[in-house]
Amino acid sequence: MDSKYSFALRRIALLGGIDDYVVLSSRELGEALEMSQQSASKRILELLDEKLIIRDLGARRQRIKLTPKGVEELKQEYSEYRRIFEINDQITLRGVIADGIGEGKYYMCQIGYSNQFEEKLGFKPYEGTLNVKVDREDVSKIDIIRSAPGETIQGFTQEGRTFGSAVAHKAKIKSIDCAIIIPERTHHDNTVEIVCQYHLRRTLGIGNGDRVEIKVKI
């Protein structure tokens, strides 16, 4: 994202524009951004064009709020700053073992995936995934992992069905090598999927509700 947009979004967010509309004139935004009213008015139009904010002109004064896209852009920037100032080369996620939706085995059986895992991670995964519901205080770390470079697992088409791409991040549970898989399209904000060459539940003697600690390399 262009730095001029992120600066403006931060100013709007600090006024409360993430949770609700804030009354903000072009002059007031210009003062906050240290620019002329005309330039601030243009910046608002640019943010609207980029779908980073929405605007309500129904009242006497304009009201502005960040869109979900705008919030995600700020989260991305926040994650990058955390990587600079707080994170070295490893992130620790803590959570509890949970049931998945039963699709892990199906996907791990696909040669298009398993061959790539073996090539890029150094092991052929067991046919299934371990699902970990991450502790609330560690959920924000998942965004940092998403923003970090990992091993790209390319999508493919097989027998008329399309399988999406994902990014694998090498990790360890205790001393066992494994990887967190971040699908291109994921529906879970607080749950991560782990692949490993071993059946982790049996190998570690763990089950639903047991706590685990995952050390993720970034």
Task: Report angle CA 94, 102, 179 to the nearest 5 degrees.
Answer: 40
Rounded CA-CA distance 5/17 in Å is: 14
- What residues form DSSP beta bridges with 133? 96, 191
pLDDT digits (tens, 9 = 90+) for 65-120: 999 999 989 988 887 787 777 666 789 999 999 987 666 667 777 888 888 999 99
Mean pLDDT of the 169-181 span: 94
pTM of the model: 0.64
Residues 6+ apart with CB under 8 A from 100: 129, 131, 193
Asked whether the beta carbons of 98 and 208 are under 8 A apart, the reply is yes
> In the chain, what are the domains?
3-84 (1.10.10.10), 89-217 (2.40.30.30)
